[in-house]
């Protein structure tokens, strides 16, 4: 194939691809589940929304920015929770957090009774919703606990597509997933760039420097350093296929120990870094990637 | 934040529910469902105060063409009149789907 043909084939692939990033939360869930199996729980017409935002003069969304659905993935019963990044930065409030935590806990009950349900989390979140503070944080802690309990039974799959990314307490939720899927547009980190610039000064991090930010916390870097398991182009069909592959692994006993259980290994990786001579992105990949593979 | 309510006469009943949009910057969410009576009821929750007359113009224009008896809740986050019209049109299209 000559260069022209290759370019045309690439162009055609780009045109035919369905962007996952451009979908809203509900469209993403439909794109992931087996066709025709989408069944939403606590949909917008149930109007289970934030009681706190209107008190602070902010218009609330009818589903509080979380879409919960049951359906199947290659005929396996599945639970999908998707966060709407365009609403309040995908922030976790009392209601949105409780929707995810409650659904995961119900799936856990089912799993414990031998009725396996495969959970998938579609992250797009700045973390806790500051207007709801501790109520959101409490829900995030419940989400962490539920993921850790669930992954004894089934792989818990997380997806960070972008463009919001996954930050704050929810970055920990992504980190405790069994299998994490990212795109090059994704970002994964505790504090977002704006927060770091505000707290530590522009000398520490210039939040407008996109190249620098993605080289630190972007999907490619996180994948290369061993914090994500799949790096995919922004393609809904590729995301759906990667989720199916991730849940087709055997029982938990057959899988490598979860990243969050490998405390000594990660302590060693941190010890390998000299804080007086912080590594750049490339040298961090070299330092961590070979050792981060199980 | 402001809450605005309007009523319109309707000509025929509607059976489905349709949800479109997101309460995101410059966008809005529309929840459309069958009306409990033979009239159309619209509730607008908007983050931008003082645009009641603009809302009425947009809604008057939309309901000059749409005659279903529906209850509509709009949760608005600073959408322009053009975006509001597009979302309402999208919701009406969802009824035909």
Q: What is the pLDDT of residues B34-63, one digit of tens each?
A: 999 999 999 999 999 999 999 999 999 999
pLDDT band for position A256 (cuts 50, 70, 90):
confident
Q: Closest approach of chain B CAs to the CA of A280, in angstroms? A: 35
Work out the average pLDDT over A107-113.
97
Distance CA B10, CA B35 (A): 10
ipTM of model over 0.85: yes
pLDDT tens for each residue of A67-98: 999 999 999 999 999 999 999 999 999 999 99
Chain A CB within 8 Å of residue B83 CB: no
Give, in degrees to the nearest 5, the angle at Cα A36 between A35 and A42: 115
Q: Do B23 and A60 touch (CB under 8 A)?
A: yes
Separation in Å, CA B48 to CA B28, B40, B86: 12, 24, 19
User: Any idea which of A83-97, A147-161, A247-261 has the lowest mean pLDDT?
Assistant: A247-261
- The pLDDT assigned to B97 comes to 72
The shortest CB-CB distance from A45 to any of B17, B22, B76 is to B17
Which domain, by its residues, includes B16?
2-96
Per-residue pLDDT at A292 exceeds 70? no
- The pLDDT assigned to A1 comes to 59
- Write out A11-27 in H/E/C secondary structure: HHHHHHCCCCCCCCHHH
Per-residue pLDDT at A294 exceeds 50? no
- The pLDDT assigned to A7 comes to 86
Per-residue pLDDT at A129 exceeds 60? yes
Contact A218, A183 (CB under 8 A): no
Q: Name the domain count of chain B.
A: 1
pLDDT: which is higher, A4 or B75 = B75
* Predicted structure pTM score: 0.94
- Work out the mean pLDDT of chain A and round it to a whole number: 93
Kindly state the tokens that stand for A46: 């149930």
Query: At how many degrees (to 10) do helices A263-271 and A281-292 cross?
Result: 150
In chain A, ranges of CATH 3.90.226.10 domains: 15-252
Per-residue pLDDT at A234 exceeds 60? yes
Q: Which residue in chain A is spatially nearest to B17 when comparing CA positions? A: A45
Interface test with B, best of A47, A54, A59 (most B CBs within 10 A): A59
Cβ pairs bridging A and B (under 8 Å): 46
Distance CA A155, CA A142 (A): 18
Per-residue pLDDT at A290 exceeds 80? no
- The pLDDT assigned to A253 comes to 67
pLDDT tens for each residue of A24-57: 999 999 999 999 999 999 999 999 999 999 999 9
CATH for B84? 3.30.230
In B, which residues are within 8 Å of A62 by CB distance? 19, 29, 31, 73, 75
- Choosing among 3.40.640.10, 3.90.226.10, 3.30.930.10, 3.30.70.260, the CATH entry for A15-252 is 3.90.226.10
């Amino acid at each position: 194939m000559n260069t022209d043909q290759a370019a045309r084939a690439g162009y055609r692939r780009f045109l035919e691809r369905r962007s996952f990033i451009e979908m809203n939360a509900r469209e993403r869930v439909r794109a992931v589940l087996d066709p025709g199996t989408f069944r939403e729980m606590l949909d917008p017409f149930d109007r289970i929304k934030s009681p706190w935002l209107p008190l602070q003069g902010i218009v609330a969304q009818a589903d509080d920015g979380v879409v919960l659905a049951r359906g199947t993935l290659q005929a396996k019963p599945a639970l999908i929770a998707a966060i709407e990044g365009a609403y309040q930065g995908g922030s976790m409030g009392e209601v949105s957090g409780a929707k995810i935590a409650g659904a995961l806990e119900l799936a856990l009950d089912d799993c414990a009774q031998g009725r396996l349900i495969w959970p998938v989390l579609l992250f797009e979140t700045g973390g806790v919703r500051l207007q709801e503070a501790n109520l959101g944080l409490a829900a995030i802690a419940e989400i962490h606990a539920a993921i850790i309990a669930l992954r004894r039974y089934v792989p818990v799959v997380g997806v960070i597509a972008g463009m919001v990314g996954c930050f704050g307490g929810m970055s920990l939720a992504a980190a405790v997933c069994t299998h994490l899927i990212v795109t090059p547009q994704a970002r994964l980190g505790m504090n977002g760039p704006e927060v770091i610039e505000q707290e530590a000064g522009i000398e520490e991090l210039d939040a407008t420097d996109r190249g620098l930010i993605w080289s630190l916390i972007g999907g490619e870097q996180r994948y290369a350093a061993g914090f994500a398991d799949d790096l995919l182009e922004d393609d809904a069909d590729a995301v759906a296929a990667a989720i199916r592959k991730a849940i087709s692994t055997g029982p938990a006993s057959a899988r490598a120990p979860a990243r969050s259980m490998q405390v000594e290994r990660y302590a060693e990786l941190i010890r390998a870094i000299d804080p007086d001579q912080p590594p750049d992105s490339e040298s961090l990949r070299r330092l961590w990637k070979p050792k981060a593979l199980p | 934040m402001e809450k605005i309510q309007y009523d319109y006469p309707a000509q025929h009943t509607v059976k489905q529910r349709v949800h479109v949009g997101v309460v995101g910057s410059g966008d809005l969410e529309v929840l459309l469902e069958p009306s409990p009576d033979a009239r159309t009821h619209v509730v607008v929750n908007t983050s931008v105060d003082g645009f009641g007359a603009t809302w009425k113009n947009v809604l008057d224009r939309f309901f000059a063409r749409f005659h279903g008896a529906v209850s509509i809740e709009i949760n608005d986050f600073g959408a322009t009149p053009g975006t509001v019209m597009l979302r309402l049109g999208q919701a009406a299209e969802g009824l035909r789907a």
